[in-house]
Chains A and B, each alone.
Chain A
Amino acid sequence: KQEVTQIPAALSVPEGENLVLNCSFTDSAIYNLQWFRQDPGKGLTSLLLIQSSQREQTSGRLNASLDKSSGRSTLYIAASQPGDSATYLCAVLGSQMNRDDKIIFGKGTRLHILP
């Protein structure tokens, strides 16, 4: 059974620092992996989707990498800003074509950028 873990559960860093958020999964046979951010009281906003054949994706100050063989993905945030404060979730995506091949979410890392 696929399990997704995000460590640490919470992280505080000073503004301007580069930082890395971690996501690990137990079964390397994944379809895709997706990173989200969630602001308090809001829905999930998609940040990056990494397809299983890709090693990384970039969007602005964000870079997500995927290493299926080691069961890891990282989200790198460059030059952090107070507006980056949010909870970041990763999700391992199955093909969704049957009940046993769906989406497993981590519980998230709560990030606080100190001004």
Chain B
Amino acid sequence: NAGVTQTPKFQVLKTGQSMTLQCAQDMNHEYMSWYRQDPGMGLRLIHYSVGAGITDQGEVPNGYNVSRSTTEDFPLRLLSAAPSQTSVYFCASSRLGDGDNEQFFGPGTRLTVL
């Protein structure tokens, strides 16, 4: 199993540009989520999904869109990048509903918005 994979590893954008961060998992997990990690702020939930076709907002959703057309993939779209979106982004996945919802994280995408 590859686990949770994320691409790209690094990205530099200019203000106003759009891009998509990719996330995929091969563990057949129902739950997938996106976090951003900033110094002193810890991990903050952006969006999450409990299954294909179902998404919901987390703590800091503004400026980001998600979709979940398959169980495996959960891309995060930045609509119009702003310097405040400079951060490290992590995707995570887990099972749901059977008592074992161990979270598995991807390696992260380090994004800089100029």
Interface residues of A, Cβ cutoff 8 Å to B: 31-32, 34, 36, 41-46, 49, 51, 89, 91, 93, 95-97, 99, 102-103, 105-108
Contacts and interface: CB of A to CB of B under 8 A. Distances in A.
Given A43-B107, A96-B96, A102-B48, A32 B42 contact: no
Contacts of B45: 102-103
A105 B43 contact: yes
Contact of B105 (A44, A102, A106): A44
Interface residues of B, number: 27
A51 B99 contact: yes
Nearest to B90: A43
B31 interface: yes
Q: Secondary structure at chain B's binding surface: helix, strand, loop or mixed?
A: strand
Given A44-B90, A107-B42, A95 B97 contact: yes
A80 B39 CA distance: 26
A102 B107 CA distance: 21
A97 B101 CA distance: 11
17 contacts: A32-B100, A34-B102, A34-B103, A43-B107, A44-B105, A46-B102, A46-B103, A46-B104, A49-B100, A93-B103, A96-B31, A96-B96, A97-B50, A102-B45, A103-B33, A103-B45, A108-B42
